[in-house]
Amino acid sequence: MRNRLSKSFFPLIIFFLFSLSLGSLYIKNIGPKSVGDYDMHFYNTYILATGQFNDNFKSDLENHNMKKMVFVGPENFLNLNGADYGYEGKILSPLEKDPNWQEQLDSYNISNGSTRHLVRTQYPPLNWIFQAIGLKIGMLLHQSPFHAWQMARVANFCGFITIMILAIVIIPRGKWVLTAVGIFPISVFLASSMSGDAINISISALLVAYIMHLRFSSQQYQIIKLSQIIKLMGLVLIIFNLKVAYVPMLVIIFLIPNKFYSLKKKIISVGIASLLGLLMYWLWSSKFGTVLLGFADLPQNILFVKEHLITALFSVIIFTLNIPFYFIAGLSTGGAVGVLGFITIIFAILLIIQTISVNYQSININVSKLSERIMLYLPIMLGLLAFLGVMMLTSFALLTTWTKVYPGGVGKTFGMTDIQGLQARYLVPLMPLIALIYGVSKDFIVTAKNSISEN
């Protein structure tokens, strides 16, 4: 452990300095209600902190009759006065005071009478676990609503930092990749806000770090420990209970060599954890879950997609492959959204180029057999497969629930390839996959040969 900490010293110092400095600026200058989907993040945090999950739902007439969970709470805690969906410009301007700051501050001084609210429970509550802990502590300490919500932000930030530190420490190679992802402005902003996206970023980094740890451990030890299998199964369960769109990332588990963690053990242990995760997700979604709607008639849109399923699948594939160009072209539209999308994709591209250049000697190896070439470049192939799987699943969900493609009805009808709603922040939990490039090594070709000969 001491050796890991010594190797992680400089990445951790940089991570601490940049994340704490930038995060402090966001917490100090940006209002707690200035974040995308603010109502979902605030209200899910509140019902988790107060234990108000229930099966009482009502249609939200102002949001396409979307089914939402009913809960009650004090108005000074839960009003949305001064709230702002437009967070992109605030990410780019951490030194500027939020123009909605004073209005948000004043909103906590209104009547504390109990009122009924509706919340979109689109994702499992684990996404807001740190925020709920911070809010609960603030409430138990009888803090003002403003300070209680600020404590929720601080708790989210602390949870993010803790998990990222763990990931940076345990990953044997690629520490600077995780450091770069951890201090990227979108990551820090989400972590210092009420957003549930932060835990998806940090857990993604931890998954990649642990897979890389096990992959390189196979060079020193003959067989995986039971405790390591249990930890891996725990990570699988956690990922199923965050944003389910990131589940395809679990394919990178197959980077752990079979001689160390046999295919049979992988299928049994990961299969059990996945089935439990699916069961937990199904139980939660069937009893408490709601679906995000971008238009009024979801069943009609789903029916249209089903009737044109082949076209829809090809549209999703084409859209996914064009994602880099989608964000690059967004710069021409102007505004903070386009600029942030452009910065995000350029950052990812530069990080990939830098990682390849640093690990170029390991990548640029002459191998004659196709099987050896596949084994050598398996980390890159599985990383790419994970990226495509996540983005295709995300794109299909956006096509079905957020892009009106059926003709007629109310609102604009879009073409199948004109998928709406993709945001730059969706890419950030996938960035830790870039560290898998460091998993390319000729040592694993030898491992494969030995494994074949032993069998």
- For 302-370, the DSSP string reads HHHHHHTHHHHHHHHHHHHHTHHHHHHHGGGG-HHHHHHHHHHHHHHHHHHHHHHHHTHHHHS----SH
Q: At what angle do helices 263-287 and 226-240 cross, to 10 degrees?
A: 30
> Which of 206, 173, 111 lies closest to 379, judged by CA?
173
Longest dimension (CA), the chain: 75
pLDDT tens for the chain, 455 residues long, are 677 778 889 999 999 999 999 999 999 999 999 998 889 999 999 999 999 988 899 988 777 678 899 999 999 999 999 998 889 999 999 999 999 999 999 999 888 889 999 999 989 999 999 999 999 999 999 999 999 999 999 999 999 999 999 999 999 999 999 999 999 999 999 999 999 999 999 999 999 999 999 999 998 898 999 999 999 999 999 999 999 999 999 999 999 999 999 999 999 999 999 999 999 999 998 889 887 776 777 888 999 999 999 999 999 999 999 999 999 998 888 789 999 999 999 999 999 999 999 999 888 888 878 888 889 999 999 999 999 999 999 999 999 988 999 988 777 889 888 999 999 999 999 999 999 999 999 888 854 445 444 43
Provide the residue count of the chain. Answer: 455
Q: At what angle do helices 145-170 and 175-183 cross, to 10 degrees?
A: 160
Helix (H, G, I), strand (E, B) or coil at 257: coil
* Residue 408 identity (one-letter amino acid): G
Q: In sequence order, what DSSP letters do the residues of 374-427 get, joined into one string?
A: HHHSHHHHHHHHHHHHHHHHHHHHHHHHTS--SSSSSSPPPPTT------GGGG
What's the pTM value of the predicted model, to 2 decimals?
0.94
Residue 252, CB-side half-sphere exposure with 13 Å CA sphere: 35
Pairing relation of β-strands 114-119 and 66-74?
A: antiparallel
Helix (H, G, I), strand (E, B) or coil at 54: coil
Beta-ladder partners of 34: 84
Instruction: Mention every residue, 6+ apart, whose C-beta is less than 8 A from residue 37.
Output: 85, 195
- Residue 1 has a pLDDT of 65
* Residue 105 identity (one-letter amino acid): L
- Asked whether 134 and 149 are in contact (CB, 8 A), the reply is no
435-453 burial, b if ≥16 CB within 10 A, otherwise e?
bbbbbbbeebbebbeebee
- Give how far Cα 290 sits from Cα of 207, 286, 406, Å: 27, 9, 22
Tell me how far the alpha carbon of residue 131 is from its chain's centroid: 16
Instruction: Mention every residue, 6+ apart, whose C-beta is less than 8 A from residue 318.
Output: 417
Helix (H, G, I), strand (E, B) or coil at 1: coil
- Asked whether 214 and 355 are in contact (CB, 8 A), the reply is no
Sheet of 114-119, strand order? 57-60, 66-74, 114-119
Beta-ladder partners of 57: 69
Interatomic CA distance for residues 318 and 78, integer angstroms: 42
State the burial class of residue 370 (Cβ atoms within 10 Å of its Cβ: 0-12, 13-18, 19+): exposed
Beta-ladder partners of 115: 73
DSSP annotation of 256 reads S
- Asked whether 403 and 421 are in contact (CB, 8 A), the reply is yes
